[in-house]
């Protein structure tokens, strides 16, 4: 029954052939899997341009990008949190905190726009650090800790501003939300900077590796000498800082620091991350996915507006598209 040893050679050749054959087969489905979202965006763009004359104009494109920037910044921060298998529900409230803190500074001193900027960003960073500390020290799940922080931060914004918006008349302050660099809106420039920053953090630093490892298997991370608690805390701090940044841009765009703004912003951010293929159980995901995710959400919002879909229906359509994108993504992955 025994085969001859010399069979080995031909065996090797046939395996190689089989591999080459299967390799070709994969590359097609691989393409689809990798670039499925890109195709989705292209289809949306083609459809929208053919229906609406205004969609594919440079004004509208720049408009879309500007609208996207706030959710984009939030989603990039959220990507880190979700990669560690956490979640942050407090970012919407933090946007308001940043708005009132920054607003109060600029309200009292219309020239101190950079002080306002720093104030908004850093206070939110502090809030994020506190959330991270709670998670690290008391080992409570991120969902619970940030749910608590969501109401605490909202309450803080209301108490701090006495429930009233800071109406801002400073011309200089318009820079962050309404200014331009050449033809590119400043929020878009900030978004691009944040993209580059998060890209390099995630892919080129030790910290990035820790984030992936913690999300994939916290025990293995700890056994490899990684300080899991500290890394988690830094992740939530980073997310707080970025929420603060988004808050400043928003305040500048609407010329006021509003304590009640930003409600459910976290949901769009989470949606963008999940559409981008990042696993809610952590360890798997990419910045490029998140970028595609917030682009899709932005295009949907813009397109539905251009098509004059009623805002009630918009919510349903948005939900369906999100569910569809994720189903497509998971089924194409399972097929492998």
Which residues lie near other proteins (CB under 8 A)? 1-3, 5, 7-8, 11-12, 14-15, 18-19, 22-23, 26, 30, 204-209, 212-213, 216-217, 219-227, 279, 283-284, 336
Using an 8 Å Cβ cutoff, are 96 and 219 in contact?
no
Q: How far is the CB of 141 from other proteins (least distance, A)?
A: 14
Instruction: Please identify, using beta-carbon distances, which residue of 197 and 323 lies nearer to other proteins.
Output: 197
Smaller CB separation from other proteins, 13 or 181: 13
Spatial CB neighbours of 152, under 8 Å, sequence gap ≥ 6: 93
User: Shortest approach of other proteins to residue 36 CB, angstroms?
Assistant: 17
Least CB distance from residue 329 to other proteins, whole Å? 15
Burial of 105-125, coded b for 16+ CB within 10 Å and e otherwise, reads: bbbeeeebbeebbbbbbebbb
Return all residues near 179 (Cβ < 8 A) that are at least 6 apart. Answer: 185, 186
**Residues 6 or more apart whose Cβ sits within 8 Å of residue 321:** 296, 300
By beta-carbon proximity to other proteins, the closer residue of 2 and 183 is 2
Minimal distance, residue 34 CB to other proteins, in Å: 13
Give whichever of 8 and 137 is closer to other proteins, judged by the CB atom. 8
Quick one: 221 or 250, whose CB is closer to other proteins?
Answer: 221
Rounded Cα–Cα distance for residues 27 and 269 (Å): 31
Chain-centroid distance, C-alpha 221: 24
* In contact, 136 and 236? CB cutoff 8 Å: no
Q: In angstroms, what is the minimal distance from the CB of 216 to other proteins? A: 4
């Amino acid at each position: 029954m025994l085969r001859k040893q010399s069979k080995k050679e031909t065996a090797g050749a046939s395996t190689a052939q089989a591999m080459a054959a299967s390799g070709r087969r994969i590359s097609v489905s691989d393409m689809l899997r990798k670039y499925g979202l890109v195709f989705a965006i292209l289809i949306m763009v083609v459809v929208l341009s053919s229906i609406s004359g205004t969609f594919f104009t440079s004004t509208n494109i720049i408009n879309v990008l500007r609208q996207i920037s706030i959710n984009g910044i939030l989603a990039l921060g959220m990507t880190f949190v979700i990669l560690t298998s956490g979640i942050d529900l407090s970012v919407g409230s933090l946007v308001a905190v940043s708005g009132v803190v920054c607003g109060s500074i600029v309200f009292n001193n219309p020239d101190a726009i950079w002080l306002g900027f720093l104030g908004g960003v850093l206070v939110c960073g502090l809030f994020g650090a506190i959330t991270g500390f709670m998670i690290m020290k008391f080992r409570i799940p991120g969902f619970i800790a940030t749910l608590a922080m969501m109401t605490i931060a909202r309450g803080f914004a209301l108490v701090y501003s006495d429930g009233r918006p800071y109406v801002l008349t400073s011309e200089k302050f318009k820079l962050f939300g309404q200014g331009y660099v050449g033809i590119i809106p400043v929020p878009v420039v900030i978004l691009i900077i944040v993209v580059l920053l998060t890209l390099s953090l995630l892919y080129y630093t030790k910290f990035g590796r820790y984030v992936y490892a913690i999300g994939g298997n916290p025990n293995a991370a700890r056994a490899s000498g990684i300080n899991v608690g500290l890394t988690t805390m830094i992740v939530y701090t980073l997310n707080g800082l970025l929420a603060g940044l988004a808050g400043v841009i928003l305040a500048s765009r609407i010329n006021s620091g509003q304590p009640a703004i930003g409600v459910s912003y976290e949901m769009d951010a989470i949606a963008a991350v999940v559409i981008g293929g990042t696993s809610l159980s952590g360890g798997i995901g990419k910045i490029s996915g998140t970028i595609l995710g917030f682009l899709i959400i932005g295009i949907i919002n813009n397109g539905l507006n251009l098509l004059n879909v009623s805002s009630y229906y918009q919510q349903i359509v948005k939900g369906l598209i999100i569910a569809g994108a994720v189903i497509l993504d998971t089924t194409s992955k399972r097929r492998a």
